A and B are shown apart, each in its own frame.
Chain A
Amino acid sequence: AQSVTQLDSHVSVSEGTPVLLRCNYSSSYSPSLFWYVQHPNKGLQLLLKYTSAATLVKGINGFEAEFKKSETSFHLTKPSAHMSDAAEYFCVVSRIRDDKIIFGKGTRLHILP
């Protein structure tokens, strides 16, 4: 069975400081992993994806994530937060062979001035 756990429902950081949003997954097979961002009253936009190539994945707006199989983690990071990063972030695990796509419950990122 597949599952995904976002370890924090809310994260607050000051502008200019690093961002860490944590995601752990469980999957019986090699999964594809994704991070999506949702700004207020908007749809979801893909930030980055891991599909069994390089374990360090770079995405848009300076975000990156590292796939760590031994820790079953796919944490999202950014070196320096910007006010425009305030949004909700979703970690997603996908297994194509049987159309299983599982969303985490989301982490709301707050940026303090």
Chain B
Amino acid sequence: NAGVTQTPKFQVLKTGQSMTLQCAQDMNHEYMSWYRQDPGMGLRLIHYSVGAGITDQGEVPNGYNVSRSTTEDFPLRLLSAAPSQTSVYFCASIPRSNTGELFFGEGSRLTVL
């Protein structure tokens, strides 16, 4: 199993550009989520999904869209990038056994100029 795979690992955007961060997991986990990590802020939840076809907002959803058409994939879309979205983004999943343990991807570092 590859676990949770995020692409790209690094990306530089100009203000106003759009892009999609990809997240895929091959562990048949129902729950998937996106976090952003900023210095001194810990991890903040952007959006999450408890299963295919179901998504919900987290703590900081503005400026981001998600969809969950399959169990495996949970892409995060930035519609019009802003410098405030410069951050490290982590995708994470939780298995069906639902112990609450998160399985993380390696992260995607995004810089918006």
Contact = CB atoms under 8 A, between A and B. Distances in A.
Interface of B: 31, 33, 35, 40-45, 48, 50, 56, 90, 92, 98-102, 104-107
* Interface pairs A-B: 8 shortest CB-CB: A94-B100, A105-B42, A32-B100, A43-B104, A103-B43, A44-B104, A103-B42, A43-B106
Nearest to B42: A105
A interface, by DSSP: helix, strand, loop or mixed? strand
A34 B100 contact: yes
Nearest to A106: B42
Contacts of A32: 99-100
Nearest to A42: B106
B101 A90 contact: no
Interface of B is mostly: strand
A36 B43 CA distance: 12
A99 B48 contact: yes
B40 A51 contact: no
Given A99-B31, A99-B48, A99-B50, A46 B101 contact: yes
Contact of A90 (B33, B42, B50): B42
Interface centre among A92, A101, A105 (most CB of B within 10 A): A101
Interface in A38-67: 41-46, 49, 51
Given A44-B90, A99-B50, A105-B42, A49 B104 contact: no
Contacts of B56: 99
B48 A49 contact: no
A14 interface: no
A51 B99 contact: yes
B100 A43 contact: no
Nearest to A4: B42
